[in-house]
Chains A and B, each alone.
Chain A
Amino acid sequence: MGQRVNAPGAPMLAPKDFKSDYKPVWCPGCGDYSVLSAITKALAMLALKPENVAVVSGIGCSSRIPAYTTCYGFHGVHGRALPVATGLKAARPDLTVLVASGDGDGYSIGGNHFLHACRRNLDLTYIVMDNHVYGMTKGQPSPTTEPDWSSKLAPGGTGLREFHPLVIALASGANFIARAYSGDPNGCAALIAEAVRHPGFSFVEVLSPCVTFRPEQREWKTMVHPAPVAATDDPGRAARRLMTDDGFNVGVLYKGKRPAYARANGGNQTVEALACQFRA
């Protein structure tokens, strides 16, 4: 994959070595704490060095993650984490690039980028913390919110069916699709590590409860269960499984075999030489 790993014999880093001393502002009880923990565990498992990892995000609760790590971080504008990560990875294929997002940032304002990042299949790991709500703007419905969830902005519910990120990822060409649960940071860490190892665009949807605006999501812990069958590499079977599962199947659900996006240029001409074509 061309990614840098620790030299053999170099001291292994612990998860805490990937955690910065800047304190998260998430609400106590928020699933995102756990996802942060899972990311740091995954990076330790992968024996990466913080300076060779970039964590890119947009705007929202989940997108605060970069600064909470000791990796290189980029906290950009709302919805545009994937393009930033795409540019970074295309220009610097040697880096391990993780992208953090939420259901509002990633599926609504950044929805178009999601489709095209899946399709482009760069070797990125896209971690979306899905809590079915806009938390940072105080509880508006997001693309994954249930149609009957009532809120100030949509009294009585939106009446709109939920967006199905995993199916969309599959249809758009993502090469690895997993669902994780924040309440299981170790399992989540293992899934993230596997996603990083898998070539191409890896999508990890993390069910990450919002205890402030969706306290009922604490019940998710009783609803999640390991995916009953191993990941398939057949998109047709994966589509059927993703379309019909209960939304709480946790594990790797699809592992594709598409080659990752690779740039096909290693030109070494000088810029001066390019002037020839203009000479009259």
Chain B
Amino acid sequence: MDALGSVSVALAGSGGAGVMTAGNMLLEAASHAGYYGLMTRTSGPQIRGGEAAAMLRISTFPGDGQDDAFHVLAAIDWQNVARFAAELPLAPASLILGDPAAGEPPEVFTKSGARYAPVPLKVTAAEIAGAWPNMVALGVLAGIIGLPAASLEAAARKAMKKGLEPGIAAAQRGYALAAQLPALRLAPPPARSDRWLITGNEAAGYGALRGGVRFVAAYPITPATELLEYLAPALAKVGGTLVQAEDELASINMALGASYGGVPSLTATSGPGLSLMIESLGLGVAAEVPVVVVDVMRTGPSTGIATKSEQADLGTALYGLHGDAPHVVVAPNSLEDCLAATEWAVGLAEALQVPAIVLSDQYLGQARGVVDAPALGSAAVARLTAQGGEGYRRYALTPAGVSPMAIPGTPGATYTADGLEHNERGTPSSQASDHAAQMDKRARKLAQLDPGEAWASVEGEGDTALVTFGSCTGPAREALARNGKGVKLVSLRLLAPAQPERLKKALAGVKRVLVLEQNHSGQFLRYLRAEYDLPGEVKSLRRPGPLPFRPAEIQHALAQWGSA
């Protein structure tokens, strides 16, 4: 058997088991050993004490998708872990590790044909005063993956604030226990390179700061909260301001107010919050106030499955605004792209004086990964401002559609930013001619946008195209990396304004288009059909959240066409 390019392990348990802590340390250990890695998580609805699973993939190559199945499912206990069965697919060659003290693994896991090996986690931990079973499990997993013991210890030293020595001892015991278990034979790590260990939400937050954001209005909502929590101290360090709002109606309007004051502004939310913000995004369009909203999408409608991912806010983000309201929608298509895409969105918002929505999702936002250090762009984009003077016209009909914006404090250029239709001076007007002229101006700004190569990730060549966006890109990339001959990947990053000419060029010669998305109704397919001409035969591969696509499913769908 060849050495594996990646191994996938899941560590499950109920409240108090510490599976997330152990999972994070395993990721740190893998990083220390020179591997790439990814950790996603799933949990029950309880705030404390609920069942949870840390899902890790440790690999010799970068990526943020999940594999087709887990090589190992380890459980500290089995209480309600069966609820996650759909998220924890196993194969006949998989290994189930469980503490015999916690009973047999549920049938939903064993029916996969996976082999069960009992490991005395609790008993082993009990031999060391102050040690926990999760540290034993961590040692076992590190051992069967073949991570160096030094990496395990380094990870523990980095992460543990208390119980360090017993923790390390327990992990070492587990590591020794692994010698009796089948090894996973992970290939040696790739050559060392600059890497970051970061979540998508942190990456988006950092991208916002790089883009120049210095004001953030925050209303907590899963799974966007961590983005805001990252920004609270980070903003303070760079002299910015975060205000906790009373609701999302307030947070978007606070962001608009701060931006009107000349300070690049952002808020982050999820679907329900985005719905509340939509009216004021229309105001941002009409009054031409730059603002960025990061929507970390979760399953909807309504509260849906608040902790899990889905790409179902696409329609709202693109078409939810009232009136004709040209704006920007950007979708990061990898964990690390959350940084670049958000930074880019801030730049677009500032340059075009328009609201921009960043469509991230729970999968990308809450995934923590070891990624190649992102290539960091140049200085933040500056807004076109006015210096004042006679006859200042805030909404002047410039050829580019962007007109100099006076920042409060500038003498001789006072104006009223207004959601009412207005003339060039900013004075409210109900004249058809003013409405038409201002609509044209607002559309012109976006129509003239030249996104360059950034509009999409176009990879590979072939007469079949796999067209997707966002977090579906990871598994799509992996499917094509396995066997992508004759298939071209087009992952859109700029969803609005649509780029029909660019997609047309990218799809030249393509005979079949497979549209991949994670929602029930095919929102992305409908968007593509509305905004673009898709060549040849078009098929849709979609399903709602929360289960992420796995590469084999995509390979299978392509194989049915005989392309891969």
Contact = CB atoms under 8 A, between A and B. Distances in A.
Contact flag (A, B; Cβ within 8 A): yes
B257 A91 contact: yes
B215 interface: yes
Contacts of B252: 83
B413 interface: yes
A50 interface: yes
B283 to A, nearest CB: 5
Interface stretch (A63-71, A150-158, A204-212, A228-236): A63-71
A74 B286 CA distance: 12
B427 interface: yes
24 contacts: A22-B427, A51-B411, A51-B412, A52-B409, A66-B416, A67-B418, A67-B426, A70-B414, A73-B418, A74-B287, A76-B256, A76-B280, A77-B282, A84-B260, A85-B257, A86-B254, A88-B257, A112-B246, A112-B249, A116-B245, A266-B239, A267-B238, A275-B206, A278-B198
Given A73-B416, A83-B249, A280 B195 contact: yes
B243 to A, nearest CB: 5
B59 interface: no
B197 A278 contact: yes
Contacts of A49: 411
A103 B4 CA distance: 68
A94 interface: yes
A233 B285 CA distance: 44
Interface residues of B, number: 67
A266 B417 CA distance: 29
Interface in B79-137: none
Given A71-B414, A76-B280, A91-B265, A267 B409 contact: no
A7 interface: no
B238 A270 contact: yes
Task: Name the prevailing secondary structure of the B interface residues.
Answer: mixed
B420 interface: yes
Task: Name the prevailing secondary structure of the A interface residues.
Answer: mixed
B209 A274 contact: yes
Interface in B394-414: 406, 408-414
B383 interface: no
Interface centre among B195, B206, B265, B408 (most CB of A within 10 A): B408
A222 interface: no
A75 interface: yes
Contact of A280 (B31, B202, B206, B245): B31
A20 B360 CA distance: 44
A265 B240 contact: yes
A66 B419 CA distance: 12
Contacts of B373: 279
Leading 5 A-B pairs by shortest Cβ distance = A73-B416, A87-B257, A87-B254, A91-B258, A83-B253
A95 interface: yes
B214 interface: yes
A73 B243 CA distance: 22
A75 B418 contact: yes
B159 to A, nearest CB: 13
Nearest to A272: B376
B419 A76 contact: yes
A112 B414 contact: no
A265 B253 contact: no
Contacts of A137: none
Interface in B188-226: 194-198, 202, 206, 209-210, 214-215, 217
Nearest to A73: B416
Interface in B239-281: 239-241, 243, 245-247, 249-263, 265, 279-280
Contact of B243 (A55, A67, A70, A86): A86
Contacts of A54: 261, 408
A83 B416 contact: no
B428 interface: yes
Nearest to A88: B257
Interface in A75-106: 75-77, 79-80, 82-92, 94-95
B454 interface: no
A67 B254 contact: no
A240 interface: no
B552 interface: no
B247 A112 contact: yes
Interface string A252-265: 00000000000111
A56 interface: yes
Interface stretch (B229-237, B311-319, B463-471, B498-506): B229-237
A53 to B, nearest CB: 8
Contact of B256 (A55, A84, A120, A271): A84
Interface centre among B197, B257, B262, B427 (most CB of A within 10 A): B257
Contacts of A92: 258, 261-263, 408-409
A51 B409 contact: yes
B417 A265 contact: no
A75 B258 contact: no
B258 A90 contact: yes
B257 A72 contact: no
Nearest to A267: B237
Contact of B409 (A22, A95, A270, A279): A95
Given A49-B411, A74-B260, A91 B214 contact: yes
A219 to B, nearest CB: 33
B370 interface: yes
A170 to B, nearest CB: 18
Contact of A75 (B235, B245, B250, B416): B416
B415 interface: yes
Contact of B419 (A71, A77, A89, A115): A77
A228 B312 CA distance: 61
Given A80-B250, A267-B239, 17 more contacts: A4-B409, A67-B416, A72-B415, A74-B257, A77-B282, A77-B419, A83-B251, A83-B252, A87-B259, A88-B261, A91-B258, A92-B409, A95-B261, A265-B240, A278-B196, A279-B196, A280-B195
A1 to B, nearest CB: 16
Contact of A67 (B250, B251, B406, B427): B427
A268 B252 CA distance: 26
A202 B173 CA distance: 65
Nearest to A54: B408
